[in-house]
Amino acid sequence: MALVFVWFATPFMPELDNEERGQLLFLSFLPLVNGLADFASIGLTRWSLRKGVQGMLPWSWVIDLAGAVVIFFGLGAVIILFIHMAQPGGVPLLSLEVLFAEIKGPATRGQYWWLLFMLFSTLIPTVLHGVVAATAFFTIYPKPWRLRITAWLRDAPEDAIAARGGRVTLALAFTLAFFVPVFLIVEAVRWWPGILNGTIWVFEGFACLIGAA
């Protein structure tokens, strides 16, 4: 279906600029491969969540993360290969050199929000799993600490100091459990430009390796 759509658009290719050709891909080939990648990513996350419930926490998220990275870069590689190899009527679907240059440019990067969203959407299930895993991990404290909190809470009705200690330490434990994932997300956002540039560098290197850019 995607190839048929591109084939029908072949006569108009010379009249389209790089952004318009990108939008053509957005309506044809990209939803297909992105849907498959999202399906694989969600399936992997669901499987790793089940393993986590069975006692593999936090290793289940490590497996999920590794698989998500493979799916992410695999999706990018497939898109680059398709753009490089599918040239209906001898007309390139997209100039990868222009694409990489414009994505790297802060002023023109916004034109390709749809491409970035499609790529990074495959990581959403893993990110959400990571938040859950981090929250769960930081509620697993050493047994003596947990016993101490339990004892304080048990003695709270008769002991004001125990009541205060139990409430404070329990609140601290849950605050830490929720603060750490939020902190990691904030740090990821802060380092987003570097993450994006590194990703572009990898994909551009792959494109150069196969002679596509």
pLDDT digits (tens, 9 = 90+) for 26-77: 666 777 888 888 899 889 888 888 877 776 666 777 888 889 889 999 998 9
The candidate with the shortest Cα–Cα distance to 93, out of 1, 176, 185, 28, is 28
Residue written as tokens 């990703």? 199
E-assigned strand segments in the chain: none
What number of residues does the chain have?
A: 213
Query: Any idea where the domains of the chain sit in the sequence?
Result: 18-138+192-209
| Segment 69-98, tens digit of pLDDT | 899 999 989 888 888 887 665 666 777 887
Looking from the CA of 58 toward its CB, the CA atoms found within 13 Å total 15
pTM, full prediction: 0.71
